[in-house]
Structure 1
């Protein structure tokens, strides 16, 4: 972190904690944590930090001006806005080119935007999902932004019945194109966290423990690194991939 000049933010929904990890002025590790019920999705846009929780999406804003320090820290995030979504099992967040927050609404099997009048505004769903229902039909869980727009999503199965994905976790996973609705890769095991970086579509083939990328010409998953655990959460900084790793989840 010292070499790259960065800090890390991560969530762990079972413990209901977010962690901000950085370095103190003397080089020692700094760790700050806060409790947020079932926090999962996180994204940063400028001085804004967005976090999804069980019933809400929060926007935290940095109030320390560039170049200033507050109690030894160069950032201080305070809560400014909350959208009450109800339980949507939100997994992934991103801010699009228009400054609009887009999130993966896993429970309703769609991509959605925040709304001032409703729990959410659906903006896209897979062609095989016949209707919006709070049934987690395909476990739509990840979204890759391309040129400031949702480009690709990951699903655990192309199922259109309640919890239908649970029987296809071993090999039913797919990557879908948001623009066309087409399947660009299949045969994956619980894929998560797709990210378009440096001209490639990277993702976590979580059920197998492999981090790799999709060859968009062939639809084949190309594994790069095996990680002994269950993979969720992926970010890039320069040539570095930062991957979230937890214990294997068994049959849950």
Structure 2
């Protein structure tokens, strides 16, 4: 982990461009945002300055992907680690830069290079622990005190627990403390077989029953339960929408101008992460390409804020250079601005805190 300023412009010009009312939208929902950029290895926070402008803050985490936070604790994944950060500010305290959340790393779990994707916080044997998608081993897992990970569940079409990324299990929807639904790019049971089914092999799986509740999807990601509905991103077609578990029908709500991954909600808004598709490999030749051509649009990397009542994009944030691919996004409710301590400079050595207990 290392630090570089998120607003560093250099010779390439501004890193971020924003819709004109983005800061006002953050204020209206009383929240800030966090996102992960695994290709560029960054954990980003986007919030408001004391004067009302937008502030971006980043920390470098190699292959940063999965993200979970409730505004006080934060879990994220790295190349071979799971990291836990905790907010060390009391109510009313701020950092010198005006942030009202200061996330400090307090725990690191070595899980190996298992390609951790979505992370939730669930209950395992009566204890609250991260439940994460272990993509390499095609399963849901948690950390172990004696091994790299502890498997919790795998799709019934996966015949063995092996490190072959057979179906590209990636997304996880939590229902409270319970893992409820998972997405996979295919039902393949051979090593790397999912790449052959990117166009229409995607499935949504009910974790409790292991039954497939929706199929025919194109590289689905980020299933989420919110407002009594089951939402997901049909990334290969660029669509954000809902799935009815009773009949498996996917109903699009809007088109996203990019490869959509990362989904969070606040109020009647969805926050959706977008990536520029890589040329060649897993992103090539998807229906998304044709949809963008039809709309005379280029794929973007950034965020779009979608009004759930209308399906319209009301605000947006765009990375102009350096960052091409996002993985996850999260909302920090009640937080104006957040920052984190990294590992490169001396801050981590001096950041010593004392546990506060109620007498």
- The equivalent position to 2:271 in structure 1, one of 236, 242, 245, is 242
Whether 1:58 aligns to 2:83 is: yes
Whether 1:82 aligns to 2:108 is: yes
From the CA coordinates, give the structure whose radius of gyration is larger.
Answer: 2
Taking a change above 3 Å as real, the CA distance of residues 46 and 10 of structure 1, as seen in their structure-2 partners, is closer
Whether 1:173 aligns to 2:202 is: yes
Whether 1:73 aligns to 2:99 is: yes
1:247 deviates by 1.1
Mapped partners of 1:148, 1:223: distance in 2: 28
- Contact 1:49 1:61 (C-alpha < 8 Å) held by counterparts: yes
- The equivalent position to 2:61 in structure 1, one of 19, 29, 36, is 36
**TM-score normalised by the chain length of structure 1:** 0.98
Taking a change above 3 Å as real, the CA distance of residues 154 and 207 of structure 1, as seen in their structure-2 partners, is same
- Equivalence for 2:133: 104
Of 205-214 and 97-106, deviating more is 97-106
1:27 deviates by 0.7
Mapped partners of 1:217, 1:132: distance in 2: 29
Mapped partners of 2:36, 2:264: distance in 1: 13
Whether 1:149 aligns to 2:205 is: no
**Partner SS, residue 7 of structure 1:** strand
Mapped partners of 2:72, 2:90: distance in 1: 10
Instruction: Please state which structure has a larger fraction of its residues in strand.
Output: 1
Taking a change above 3 Å as real, the CA distance of residues 38 and 145 of structure 1, as seen in their structure-2 partners, is same
**TM-score normalised by the chain length of structure 2:** 0.69
Q: How many equivalent pairs are there?
A: 252
- Equivalence for 2:351: none
Over 6 Å off, 4+ runs: none
Counterpart mapping for 1:171-210 below 5 A: 171-210=200-239
Contiguous gaps of at least 5 residues in structure 1: none
RMSD of the alignment, in Å?
1.0
Between 1 and 2, higher relative CO (CA 8 Å, sep ≥ 6) is seen in: 2
Mapped partners of 1:17, 1:112: distance in 2: 24
Instruction: Please list the CA deviations of residues 94-143 of structure 1 after superposition, one character each: whole Å capped at 9, or x if unmatched.
Output: 10154211000000000001111110000000001111111100000000
- Contact 1:45 1:95 (C-alpha < 8 Å) held by counterparts: no
Instruction: Please list the CA deviations of residues 57-81 of structure 1 after superposition, one character each: whole Å capped at 9, or x if unmatched.
Output: 0001100012222211111011100
**Partner SS, residue 132 of structure 1:** coil
Mapped partners of 1:231, 1:18: distance in 2: 18
